[in-house]
Structure 1
Amino acid sequence: MLPLYCRKRVLLLGDNLSRYLQHSSKHNVSTGNGCDQVSLLLRLCEERHFISPGAFHARTCVYGPLGSDLKKNILGQWWTASIRSRARVFGINTSVHTRTCEESVMIVNYRTVQENFQQDSLTREEALRLFFQNSMSLRSNLLQGALQQYIQALELVSRKLPFGLAEIGLCHQSTDQSFGHSPGCISEVTESSLVWFCSPRTSSQWIDYWARQRLQWWRKFALGPSDFSLCDVVEEDLKDGTLRGIKVLYKFPWGLETLETLWSLGNTELQKTYQGTHSKLECRDGRKVVVPHVISISGDMDKGMLAYLFNSLKQQKKTDSKQKQRTVLRLHPTLTPVKVALDMGRGSNSELRQVCEGLLEEFLEEGIPTWPGYLDTLPLSLENLHTKYDEMGVLFTVLVSETTLKNGLLLVRNRDTTVRETMHISEIKGFLLRYIYASENL
């Protein structure tokens, strides 16, 4: 099976960076602070295992270990906020294949296409018709899947409004032609979707409510919350049947981009999905029986991950070093892929390593993501070690040394404050668990 689009995943981190850098060079702004920040983030992500080295140059990009974990953490927080902490919102999982979405992406077997057009018995129109019949379509959004699950969901809520259906999944979308994109280029996007079914009389209040909730969610994990904002979609950009639209925006170095879009769709899309009698679509709104309005909330989580990376990237003055500043990825404690780095100072390597391995086992048993830095065969100075872990976004560096062997004391460094303090080895696990628990409940 040979699809007509590149099967490799396009990570928006590499793609957006490449488009911006190309655009900057064409407009002679490559020396600006925005471009410097883009270059710095790209270098950091390649060197610190967020993306695979060299993949960016092929205009495709694959997540490295830290990038995969960061994305997983973001999606987990979205799922918790959308479903686990709310009543009457249910998770669903729909097929990536579709025959109903007008904007779907089609993949075909190249050999079959050739055979169809080489048959003398078929006209060009017949070959094209056969070509489309044998093709498979992939969804471009998650809305249709939720609408198709609507009738089943009615049984869960006893036909009472409001309620919602939530999903995270891969979608295939056509990219725009700006910043050097080729026409018809297809990218694979991880989309989040919450489809909210509500009374027609309250739909305007509900879209305002969800817009506030979504902005609050994005800002919750941001170092600079003001970079996230809301704006209304202008009336000229509303599709037929759409009552209103609101966008959640992030201020990237190259300008504002949409992370999430909320649409008040009325009941047009729902009625299109079920073209029979509309009585089976009706729900109870108090004493009234109505066909609900649909509010669709869809987010591009790959672009959201990129926003958090930019938002957390900081260059700060150093007070304890000859270097003028340090680069640190100050990701929110809940999102950062690695909470603790375990490393060794001077002393007996074999004995120190045994202590590190014991701590590593303890941390992992408690679910504390830990980086085994003591396994690195390339020795680094303490300053370079801190630089490495700052750029990885590691919250705490725990240093085991000869002092640990003598009296059980560890050196613990905080990423955000750079404060180093000594702590007894028996206290470190409890300290880390309290910190992580507190950060998750902010």
Structure 2
Amino acid sequence: MLSCCVRNVLCTLKTPPCIATLALQHSRRHCSTSSCEDLDRVSTLLQLCVDRQYVSPDQTNAELFQRGMSCVYGPLGTELRRNLLEQWWHSVTSSSAQVFGINTLSSSKDAAADGPGQLRIVESDYLKHIIEQQELSKEQLVQEVQALIHRSPSLRTDFLQGALEQFVPALELVNRKLPFGLAESGLCFQPSDGSGCPAEVTQTSLVWFCSPRTSSHWLDHWARQRLKWWRKFARSPSDFSSSDVPVEELEGAASRGVRISYSFPWGQEPLETLWSRGHAELLQTHKGVRSKLQYREGRKSVPHVVSVSGNMDRGVKAFLSNSLQQLMKQDGKQKLLRRKVLKLHPVLAPVKVALDIGRGATMELRQVCEGLLQEFMEAKIPVWPGYLETLPTSMEQLNAKYDEMGVLFTVVISDNTLESGLLQVRSRDTTIRETKHISEIKNFLSRYISAADNI
């Protein structure tokens, strides 16, 4: 029942507000209280992502975001995904001295790349030219099209093949010693779900080469490491979980699999999948020539492969969902208002600090803000120049806006700053306002973010 209701709510971004409201009301009549709370959360999250420039409001784009595919991100969504990829790269490459980054091509003319669901690049003009040749019989037309497809480059759907091809030079780099890994991230194409239109997804990949007797140990090791990493940035870590892949769902030559998933309001979706793949694919890639694949301690053995593949677009969606809090508060007129806050982890938050001005001499206050802005940028602290906003806005409205953007701190410059160097700092997570000296603020923010990263 919940999945049916969710589908109704997921359409709210495509319809005018009045229709969206009616759809939500209709859904509520058919689901339980807990389901309706989940529906509210889904609707709020999707609307907030559009309003605060995490994703573009286009209908097709919203569908891609909901499916966990690469979409048109807004400025904040782009920065969030970049931060997530940076943290992934750092966690994988610094977890072992023997993990190396590689960069493979997104397309290949290698016939060995053929397989089920293979995607190929075909020039539409050339295909049209073949189809328009009226002198060709139906059989000849089919042959021409098949020949065109066969000689067209294939698009990658994952990074595994590229890592397998890079194994031999990498083995020489480490003096033929195991274990070691090859890491890569970027865009891959996913076969369509029946629509005939494949979509891009931002993938991460670690391909780990180890001795056959240790492959099971390494699968367990990386499963623990990856779950720990996802939970590190979560407000509610228990929403992230791992489970063994059922035997009937094992992929290709894999003997074991582990999925790391996130519990969305509508159900679990996988974020990363780990496979113990054996050595069959490595042998196939290198034409069965065992001699060049053998490592120092295993003269007659071929390394086994453990792969870790992640969907970072779905990861972005998971952290947005996990960080959303809806709190009730009273305004000055004793009315209950819902306060929406994106409590993104400090290292993932796209904007760390917003700079605004209070009452006072506007020109002088802006000059102070410009100086602070430069300091923050030099310290690589992402800053939002709220003081450039020309429309009059109350601090309460600004705080609500910044909370929804996920901004960690709001710094307000006022006449008091010009006189004594003191400014007001508001925390997103506690809503407490503190007074600090202008000379302390950069180091305070740097220490806060650094401490959060080390937890």
Q: Same fold (TM over 0.5)?
A: yes
CA contact (8 A) 2:9 2:43 kept: no
Specify the alignment match of 2:184 in structure 1: 167
How far apart, in 1, do the equivalents of 2:410 and 2:331 lie? Answer: 17
Matches within 5 A, 1:46-125: 46-54=50-58, 59=63, 61-98=71-108, 99=110, 100-102=113-115, 103-119=117-133, 120-121=135-136, 123-125=140-142
> What is the alpha-carbon distance in structure 2 between the residues aligned to residue 186 and residue 34 of structure 1?
30
The question of 1:255 aligning with 2:267 is answered: yes
Deviation, 1:117, is 2.7
Instruction: Report what 1:377 is aligned to.
Output: 390
Structure 1 counterpart of 2:241, from 222, 229, 232: 229
Say if 2:283 and 2:289, in contact at 8 Å, map to a contact too.
no
TM-superposed CA distance for 1:276, in Å, is 4.1
**CA RMSD after TM alignment:** 2.2
Q: Work out whether 1:44 is the aligned partner of 2:22.
A: no
| Percent of residue pairs bearing the same amino acid type | 55
* CA distance, structure 1, for counterparts of residue 299 and residue 285 of structure 2: 23
Inter-CA distance 354–128: structure 2 relative to 1 (3 Å threshold): same
Q: Distance in 2 between matches of 1:151 and 1:96?
A: 20
Cα gap change, 1:428 to 1:22, in 2 (>3 Å): closer
CA contact (8 A) 1:399 1:411 kept: yes
> 1:121-132 maps to which residues of 2 (within 5 A)?
121=136, 123-132=140-149
Q: Is the 8 A contact 1:199 1:292 kept in 2?
A: yes
Query: 1:245 and 2:257 equivalent?
Result: yes
Matched, 1:356 2:399: no
Between the aligned partners of 2:226 and 2:61, the Cα distance in structure 1 is 34
Partners of 1:211 and 1:66 in 2: CA distance: 30
* Structure 2 counterpart SS, 1:290: coil
Number of matched pairs: 420
2:321 aligns with 310
Whether contact under 8 Å (1:233, 1:245) holds in the other structure is yes
Q: Structure 2 length normalisation: TM-score?
A: 0.87
Change in 2 beyond 3 A, CA 1:55/1:373: farther
Selected match of 2:354 from 341, 354, 357: 341
Asked if the contact 1:20–1:254 (Cα under 8 Å) also holds between the matched residues in 2, the reply is no
Aligned-pair CA distance for 1:418: 0.7
Paired residue type of 1:67: G
Q: Deviations over 1:45-82 (max 9, x none)?
A: 11112112445577454111111100000000000011
Tell me the alpha carbon deviations over residues 70-114 of structure 1, each in whole angstroms, 9 at most, x when there is no partner.
Answer: 000000000001113421000000000024152331221122112
User: Judging changes above 3 Å, is the alpha-carbon distance between structure 1 residues 110 and 54 closer, same or farther for their aligned structure 2 residues?
Assistant: closer
**Cα deviations by residue, 1:184-214 (Å, 9 ceiling, x for unpaired):** 3311001000000011111111101110000
Shift of 1:29: 4.6
The answer to whether the 8 A contact 2:325-2:342 is kept is yes
Q: Does the 8 Å CA contact 1:108/1:134 hold for their aligned counterparts?
A: no
| Post-superposition offset of 1:353 | 0.6
Q: Distance in 2 between matches of 1:240 and 1:431?
A: 51
Question: 1:106 corresponds to which letter in structure 2?
Answer: R
Change (3 A) 1:434 1:57: closer
2:183 aligned with 1:194 = no
Asked if 2 retains the 8 angstrom alpha-carbon contact of 1:161 and 1:283, the reply is yes
Mind listing any 5+ residue stretches in structure 2 that lack a counterpart?
Answer: 1-5, 13-22, 65-70
Q: 1:219 aligns with which of 207, 223, 231?
A: 231
Query: 3-state SS of the aligned residue for 1:353?
Result: helix
Aligned pair in 2 of structure 1 residues 233, 58: CA closer, same or farther (>3 Å)? Answer: closer
Q: Deviations over 1:227-249 (max 9, x none)?
A: 00011111111134211011001
Is the partner of 2:107 in helix, strand or coil?
A: coil
